[in-house]
Amino acid sequence: MYFLRKSIVTLAIMTLFLSACGKINATQVSTKQPEANAPSLQTETVLATLNSQPETTESSDMTTSTPGGNEYAQCGSGGLIDVGYYFKDNNGTISPTQLVRFQKTSDDVRDYVSVITCLKNDEGKVSNPDEVVNGYENEIIFFDKNGIAHTYRVIIGGHYVEPYDPTHKDITASLNGVDVLFMDVQEWMDVSQQRFMAQGSRQIGLDIYLDDNQGDLSKVLIQVYKFRDTNLQISEALKTGEGYPDQVPDGFFLFATYSWLIQAE
């Protein structure tokens, strides 16, 4: 009897020990389950990173020509003056070239475009009298939608309608965009150069001749009328920001009848 009791007790102890071992093994298996899931989570993270890389690359490619890639420094070293018009280039930068409006003369003879942009040189010169008598000559810069500069000869004012009025001064212009003044060409050259150098910016507003239906009114207008197609190509480029001609006819110049200087407020 004593032996039987001892066997029963021994058997019970062994059963309890085996049961305890079973619980430990079950716990060990369950702790390994998250470890088995960890590589899956890491793979998802890597895939998400790889999938996001093309978007980052495209964004980087699109911004390689942002500020610093344009040619606006050709307007001067002093930075651009806010002119209240906000045409932006493809990089989101406000362009120095701003289309103001298209207009006709009151007699419906001439078509003009009013535009704000930049001149290339601080110092202009008196135009060749075979082209325009006592006009002001410089180079005008238009910037396209990518911020690239397109430069052309420009003559401002002078005597262009025959018969010439000897009492009429050479240049019709404004120093502030409001008050209209009449000046001799040398006076305009001096005033504009001083302003450009003082501000470090050669921004200017111009009324530029495009076309007319009476191109024989003077020698000047006959010359300008020869460039009608190029004038109209430039006017379309001012609307869209693209299509400025890289090549122009021999002797080409844009002709502006009125100009105003841009000044900082």
Q: Is residue 110 classed as helix, strand or coil in its secondary structure? A: strand
Model's pTM, two decimal places?
0.72
Half-sphere CA count of 196, side-chain side, radius 13 A? 21
Q: Give the separation between CA 165 and CA 258, rounded to whole angstroms.
A: 17
- How many beta carbons lie within 10 A of that of residue 63, not counting itself? 12
CB 79 within 8 A of CB 170: no
Is residue 257 within 8 Å of residue 172, measured between CB atoms?
A: yes
Q: Give 126: exposed, middle or buried? Use CB within 10 Å, 0-12, 13-18, 19+.
A: middle
The residue among 240 and 6 whose pLDDT is bigger is 240
In which band, very low, low, confident or very high, does the pLDDT at 39 lie, cut at 50, 70 and 90?
Answer: very low
The pLDDT tens digits of the residues spanning 132-180 come to 999 999 999 999 999 999 999 999 999 987 777 778 899 999 999 999 9
